Amino acid sequence: MDGKTLTARHIAQQYKEVQEYNRMYKELDDLYHEVALGIGMSDGELSALYAMSFLGDGCLQRDICREVYVSKQTINSAVRKLERKGILYLEEKKGRDKKIFLTEKGKDFVAEKIIPVVEMENAVFVEMEPDERTELLRLSQKYIEYFREKQKRMLEDMK
């Protein structure tokens, strides 16, 4: 075997591994989408209420965006829909900020539909051994850090 054959195989294997990782990421995203549809919500609405279940009443849209890594536009649209549905309401804060609060209907909805999602995630996570959970988190964080570095360089090179 020559060096080119090994290199070509190595590149082909890396390509397959990246595609498999991307496929798994998309599959997980699709599973969350099915959850959202199953409880009668958009992905953005699920993300907003999911974040609020941790952040609590009085959080801001930017807090939700940071918590679930969803765009400001998506969360704004979701908050408006949830407000129209009577799930939450907004209170003026100083400046353009508005605090978000769950209505009684919203609190019931979160308890009945969102908390079970959180509990499901926790149940799935504890199915893994403690060292597997630690390794999953470590490797996921490592991938994100490397991706962030390469993305930054790539975008700078494209300028």
Residue-wise pLDDT for 85-137, tens only, equals 999 999 987 777 899 999 999 999 999 999 999 999 999 999 999 999 999 99
The CATH number of the structural domain formed by 42-110 is 1.10.10.10
Residue 145 pLDDT class (50, 70, 90 cuts): very high
Say which DSSP state 87 is in: S
Closest-CA residue to 87 (of 111, 116, 63, 60): 111
The whole model's pTM is what?
0.86
Which residues are 90's β-sheet partners?
A: 100
What are the angstrom distances between the C-alpha of 79 and each of 107, 109, 112, 135?
15, 15, 19, 35
